[in-house]
Amino acid sequence: MILADKVALVTGGASGMGRAGAHRFAREGAKVVVADLNEAGAKEVAEQIVDQGGSAVAVSCDVGTEQDNIAVVRTATETYGGLDIFWANAGIPQAFRRIAEIDPSEFDKLVAINARAPWLGARAALPALQARGGGSFILTASLSGLKGRPDASAYQASKGAATMLVRSLAKEFGPYGIRVNSVCPIASETPMWAQFMNGYMEPDNAANTFAQGIPLGRLAEPEDVANAALFFAGPDSAYISGVNLPVDGGSSA
């Protein structure tokens, strides 16, 4: 088990990619803090991990606030004695719309959750990761942070900021032995999928349409993203930092 004796914190851990990641990390031996605004969902995931023989606790967390980022790190250190991995996975979508149809307040919220919140998470996690002599900070960005497309300007701006945050923090955190990387998934059939498609295209039809443009012929599964995050969390990526990794079935090739 490649994460034995490690402590991992996953935000947005109640569903989708975060849920898959919490389970994946636990199967590899990590003690997991499942953090989510949906406290009931986080508790469900933590209970499933415990029932399967792992170790996990759930915590309610609004990643958009400094105090909650500090609190979840404190939960990890007080419960398990430290923190080795912080996966800033929580994020919000934008339904596809032209720029004139997007209210500036929505832009502000997207940047707050998709870019500012991981920055807050990194700021809160730094002392705990330093205390362990290093670790891994992982961010869920998006292919939208690497590749332009129409009708998603606010979302893409927020994820573009996230990918640059990865590069900046990799330079800043490297001297402390902390690696910083992101997973950049293409569309995935998580609970957010319908929100992206709201008013744009019927979700099931959209999945088939989008899949036709992906060389591997399907959307990403949450487990695909969890496996990529596991790579960044584990020892096989010990000399990799500052990477925004497309998890896109070859779409960006």
Question: Do the beta carbons of residue 14 and residue 42 sit within 8 Å?
Answer: yes
Rounded (10°) angle between helices 117-131 and 66-80 = 30
pLDDT reported for residue 103: 96
CA distances from 170 to 119, 223, 247 (A): 12, 25, 20
Which structural domains are found in the chain, ordered by start? 7-188+220-239 (3.40.50.720)
pLDDT of residue 211: 81
Mean pLDDT by groups of 10 residues along the chain of 253 residues: 97 96 98 98 98 98 98 98 98 92 96 98 98 98 91 95 98 98 87 58 67 89 97 98 96 89
Instruction: For residue 38, give the nearest of 90, 112, 83, 116 by alpha carbon.
Output: 90
The per-residue pLDDT for 112 is 98
pLDDT at 189: 72
Angle between helices 16-27 and 39-51 (to 10 degrees): 30
Confidence at residue 213, expressed as pLDDT on a 0 to 100 scale = 83
- CA dihedral for 106, 180, 144, 90, sign (positive or negative): negative
Alpha helix ranges (H) inside the chain: 16-27, 39-51, 66-80, 104-111, 117-131, 153-173, 193-197, 203-212, 222-233
Amino acid 12: pLDDT: 97
Please give the positions annotated as active site: 155
Sheet-wide strand order for 85-88: 55-60, 31-36, 7-11, 85-88, 135-140, 178-185, 244-247
DSSP state, 146? T
The Cβ of residue 129 has, within 10 Å, a number of other Cβ atoms equal to 24
The neighbour count for residue 104, using CB atoms within 10 Å, is 8
Give the DSSP H or E segment for 35: strand 31-36
Instruction: Please tell me the predicted confidence (pLDDT) of residue 20.
Output: 97
